[in-house]
Structure 1
Amino acid sequence: MAFFVFVFLPLALAGCSGSGADDGNATMAVNATDPQLAGALQDQIMVDPQLGRQANGDSIRPPAQPYSGAVPSDAVAANTDPLDTNGLMKAPAPIAAGKDCTECAAARESVTLGGLAARQKNAKSSQCAASLTYSAAWAQRLPADLPLFPQARVTEAAGTEAGKCALRVVSFSAAQPMQILLDWYYTRAVKAGYTAEHQLDGKEHILGGTRARDDGAYVLFLTARADGGTDIDMVANNGI
């Protein structure tokens, strides 16, 4: 039996060595014909030293704290303009939204900003929705008379200036309670010559209106957050 062991062991090792050589040749062939794969195989692996220390890979104990993956605070990507609540007019109490509230249905059923804009009662807003493009920069291009709320944090924005369109659609949040946002936008809308109607659809408040001189229109959908702040979707068309 020992004789067979000594005979076949070298053969087995030789077989393994041959297989490795073939694999190396195959890899070299792939590298020669596929430069992207070659680069991926030869590039150095990037390591984040901060996350490496969090991994605690050399210890038999679990990490001392959870890995950092927290949602950024409202101070991140925010409008940093100071908030002035002096001289705000009080928004009227909401009236219950009826079955003919197209904005209410749009807010409930739309899953994108484009879908929300397309279902607005204002004809120009709905027609321009087809040419919307998405970029956070549109949040800073709202009409000057209905700008982004101070200290608001933008989550998504879209807009278009195709043809005669001047449509903006923005989703944002604010740390302030809903009543402050209602009063702030109501005051600005009325002073800019818009009408202002306040409706309530379940827990969602809708503030919207129009302006005859330029066919301007706006609508805000506001929902209170558990932390005391407010989530807002805003659609604005035309404006100064």
Structure 2
Amino acid sequence: MAGLSACADEAAQDIAPETDPIVQRALNDPLMIEPDLASQNLGNSALEFDIGHPLPPENDGPAAVLAAREEAFAVLGGSSGLKDLPASGSEVELAEAEAFDTVGRLDRLSISKSCEAQLRFSGTWVARLPERLQPFPRGSTKEAIGSATGNCRAVAALYLTPVPIEDVLRYHFSRLDEGGARASYTKGETWHSLTGSIDGGRYEITARELPSGLAEVGIAYLGAA
């Protein structure tokens, strides 16, 4: 009996705990979430984030790019839904602090200090972005932060994708344009930016191509207080 009891205990340890259905829906998306980012607190401490962290090999090859594009076309209702970018406005560049992490992206939208103090890290914040600001399909989320209190509605996320940066920007522009939230486009030596208003708030999408060839994209949304 003791042996059977020990086996039963070991089997019980192998059973995975149930996942909250709301969290599961948020995470059961083509996006991959960094688990060690969940439930982190801003805490006025220095943030460390490796923007050059590569995608797993199986996620950055030609097959992955093709699969991501097919999903993007499905979202847009076909390849004809992928619109060209408008003419670029004045040049845009990000300061080192702005490019470092998601907080820097929200700083570009002039987030208040009181709102910034309420921000919390969690991969599930990606699902709280407005629908038309969602990342390119199959993108790999590296960091997400947000707040949903009454006087602070803010979300920002950084993600990587092997899809060429122009296609990524055209996808984001098309998603916004079809929803009536036409974006202004600016381009610098390194950075690209799409800015505008949506769902009663302001947004900015910033993107650049990393030396690895991956596109790094930051999405920041600041709702009206």
Q: What does residue 229 of structure 1 align with? A: 214
1:113 to 88, 96, 102: 102
Aligned to 1:172: 159
CA RMSD of superposed structures (Å): 3.0
| 1:120/1:126 contact within 8 Å kept | no
The Cα shift of 1:74 comes to 6.4
Deviation per CA, 1:136-155: give whole Å up to 9, x if none.
11122211122121010011
Partners of 1:112 and 1:131 lie apart in 2 by 16
Residue 83 of structure 1: aligned partner: 72
SS at the partner of 1:194? coil
Q: Match of 1:183?
A: 170
CA-CA distance at 1:216 after TM superposition: 2.0
Query: How far is 1:192 from its partner?
Result: 1.8
Q: Is the 8 A contact 2:207 2:217 kept in 1?
A: yes
Amino acid at match of 1:225: L
Aligned equivalent of 1:148: 135
Q: Does 2:203 correspond to 1:218?
A: yes
Alignment gaps of 5+ in structure 2 = 1-52
Aligned equivalents of 2:58 and 2:184: distance in 1?
31
Inter-partner Cα distance in structure 2 for 1:74 and 1:197: 34
1:126 to partner: Cα distance:
7.2
Q: How many residues get paired?
A: 158
TM-score when scaled to structure 1?
0.57
TM-score (norm 2): 0.60
Q: Which runs of 5+ in 1 are unaligned?
A: 1-69
Greater Cα offset, 145-154 or 190-199: 190-199
CA–CA distance in structure 2, aligned partners of residues 204 and 176 of structure 1: 16
Residue-by-residue CA offset, 1:2-49 (whole Å, 9 max, x unaligned): xxxxxxxxxxxxxxxxxxxxxxxxxxxxxxxxxxxxxxxxxxxxxxxx
Q: CA deviation at 1:83?
A: 2.7
Closer/same/farther in 2, CA of residues 160 and 93 from structure 1, 3 Å limit: same
The code of the aligned residue for 1:224 comes to E
Amino acid in structure 1 at the alignment position of 2:134: P
Instruction: Could you list the structure 1 runs, at least 4 aligned residues long, displaced by more than 4 angstroms after superposition.
Output: none
Does 2:196 correspond to 1:209? yes
Q: Does 1:73 align with 2:73?
A: no
Deviations 1:100-126 (A, max 9, x none): x6xx44x533333223313325x6x77
> Relative to structure 1, is the Cα distance of residues 153 and 166 closer, same or farther in structure 2, using a 3 angstrom cutoff?
same
Equivalent position amino acid for 1:94 in 2? S
Identity, in percent, stands at 23
| Structure 1 residues 72 and 186: alpha-carbon distance in aligned structure 2, compared to 1, 3 A threshold | closer
Listed one character per residue, the Cα deviations across residues 154-206 of structure 1 (whole Å, up to 9, x for unaligned) are: 11110110124331100100110011111111011122222311112321111
